[in-house]
């Protein structure tokens, strides 16, 4: 669909170009691979028609130059690379699934970047997509304009069979039986109700301390916690969070949030992480059960004990939520961390159980390390406080002893009014 619309706009819409000016119709896709698929359809449509074939001047790897100084191009979605062009029209394919490592809302950023390039030509901007979460550009446009008589914006929505009657209904029926919520989005063009943002922007913004440096140095006599999200050096990053809890406010402070992007040597990263942990007087670190015993053995060789987290990642996310809601988490202004936090998705399953994870083709390495460290720090500090209180009981007296506090010896229990019958 994107290829057919792009060809029509490039060949049959008014151009109004200045002498020597090149107008462009661009199709933006989520990835270079998806853009290549659209580009193949463009070449197929143009070259299979004897009439349209005559309009082709030059064919390059990602562009087709047409008669009349018009270029039909395909690009991977990036709000940086679409700027600075004279656009006759722009099409964003699968706009609900754009991804960018530097932006939490790449669809909105791309939309804003395209508008100035379309302003001089009064060009059309078209978004095509399967719906997904109830956030982002597609959801906003559908919410504000679907069924609304507006001269500038038109929203068209319909299920898969309405747009493509040749689809086999049995395939859709099986999808509905397997996962009704997913099927309503994929086949019925309905936004998912079981998937939402885990943390809204207000909670995240309230946690960011813009005045502090990215990493805080170790402080003597302060007890630190640490959590790592290991990686083998491909695909995911190796993430670390070191933090502490303030005794007066009970607030968790993320002192260090650091990630090692692939590719890297995992043994070298473990050595670097271990050295950093020792700077904060940490001899034990928690993490998930990644790669079996390799991670624990690597840390043990570096002088650090590695403990596998007893609770799964999703549960640790949910345990950290009250801390975010009560503004009891402080994090640095770390762009990648903030992006990962904004893209976390909370899903409610048919069993009623909630899970939290990153979205499609996303990452949550730093977010996982911070939320897990915060959740574990709350539980660990309670355990340490309980362990520091010891009771010594005998037949006629008790003596509570707390670390750092001088113990005392009260009168025997039987002299208390409760036991002596005077109450």
Q: What is the spatial distance between Cα 183 and Cα 135, in angstroms, rounded to a whole number? A: 19
Structural fold of domain 201-385: Nucleotidyltransferase; domain 5 (3.30.420)
pLDDT digits (tens, 9 = 90+) for 58-94: 999 889 999 988 999 998 877 766 777 788 999 999 9
Q: What is the spatial distance between Cα 301 and Cα 314, in angstroms, rounded to a whole number? A: 29
Query: 266-279 and 293-301 are packed helices; what angle lies between their axes, rounded to 10 degrees?
Result: 50
The per-residue pLDDT for 392 is 41
The per-residue pLDDT for 406 is 42
Residue with tokens 């491909």: 234
> The dihedral of CA 223, 229, 232, 238: what is its sign?
negative
Q: What is the spatial distance between Cα 330 and Cα 306, in angstroms, rounded to a whole number? A: 25
pLDDT digits (tens, 9 = 90+) for 15-28: 778 788 888 999 99
Please list the ranges in the chain whose pLDDT falls under 50. 385-411, 413-423
Under a CB-based contact definition with an 8 Å cutoff, are residues 191 and 139 in contact?
Answer: yes
The per-residue pLDDT for 393 is 42
Q: What is the spatial distance between Cα 231 and Cα 122, in angstroms, rounded to a whole number? A: 48
CA R_g for the chain? 29
Structural fold of domain 2-157: Rossmann fold (3.40.50)
Would strands 354-357 and 329-330 be described as parallel, antiparallel, or unpaired?
Answer: unpaired
Sheet containing strand 329-330, edge to edge, reads 305-308, 284-287, 225-229, 238-245, 252-260, 329-330
The per-residue pLDDT for 7 is 93
The per-residue pLDDT for 39 is 92
Would you kindly state where each structural domain of the chain is located, as residue ranges?
2-157, 201-385, 389-420
The per-residue pLDDT for 100 is 67
pTM value is 0.64
The per-residue pLDDT for 387 is 42
Structure tokens at 335: 């762009």
The per-residue pLDDT for 380 is 67
Look at residues 289, 288, 284 and name the one whose alpha carbon lies nearest to residue 303. Answer: 284
């Amino acid at each position: 669909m994107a290829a057919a619309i792009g060809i029509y706009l490039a060949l049959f819409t008014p151009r109004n170009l200045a002498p020597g000016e090149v107008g462009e119709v661009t199709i933006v896709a989520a990835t270079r691979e998806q853009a290549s698929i659209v580009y193949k359809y463009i070449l197929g449509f143009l070259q299979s028609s004897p009439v349209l074939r005559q309009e082709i001047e030059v064919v390059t790897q990602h562009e087709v130059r047409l008669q009349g100084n018009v270029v039909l191009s395909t690009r991977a979605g990036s709000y940086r690379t679409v700027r600075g062009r004279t656009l006759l029209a722009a099409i964003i394919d699968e706009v609900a699934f754009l991804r960018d490592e530097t932006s939490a809302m790449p669809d909105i950023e791309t939309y804003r970047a395209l508008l100035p390039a379309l302003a001089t030509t009064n060009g059309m901007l078209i978004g095509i997509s399967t719906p997904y979460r109830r956030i982002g550009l597609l959801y906003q446009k559908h919410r504000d304009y679907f069924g609304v008589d507006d001269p500038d914006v038109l929203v068209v929505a319909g299920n898969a069979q309405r747009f493509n009657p040749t689809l086999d209904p049995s395939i859709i029926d099986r999808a509905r039986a397997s996962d009704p919520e997913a099927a309503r989005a994929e086949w019925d063009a309905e936004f998912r109700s079981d998937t939402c943002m885990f943390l809204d922007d207000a909670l995240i913004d309230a946690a960011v301390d813009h005045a502090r440096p990215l990493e805080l140095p170790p402080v003597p006599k302060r007890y630190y916690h640490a959590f790592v999200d290991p990686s083998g050096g491909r695909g995911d990053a190796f993430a670390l969070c070191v933090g502490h809890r303030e005794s007066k406010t009970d607030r968790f402070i993320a002192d260090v949030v650091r990630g090692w992007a692939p590719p890297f040597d995992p043994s070298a990263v473990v050595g670097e992480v271990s050295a950093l942990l020792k700077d904060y007087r940490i001899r034990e670190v928690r993490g998930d059960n990644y790669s079996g015993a390799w991670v624990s053995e690597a840390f043990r060789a570096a002088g650090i004990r590695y403990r596998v987290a007893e609770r799964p990642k999703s549960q640790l996310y949910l345990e950290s939520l009250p801390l975010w809601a009560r503004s009891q988490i402080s994090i640095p202004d770390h762009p990648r961390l903030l992006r990962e936090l904004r893209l976390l998705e909370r899903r409610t399953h048919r069993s009623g159980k909630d899970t939290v994870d990153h979205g499609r083709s996303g990452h949550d390495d730093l977010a996982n390390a911070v939320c897990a460290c915060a959740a574990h720090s709350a539980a660990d500090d309670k355990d340490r406080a309980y362990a520091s209180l010891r009771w010594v009981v005998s037949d006629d007296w008790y003596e509570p002893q707390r670390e750092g506090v001088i113990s005392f010896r009260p009168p025997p229990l039987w002299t208390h009014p409760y036991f002596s019958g005077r109450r």
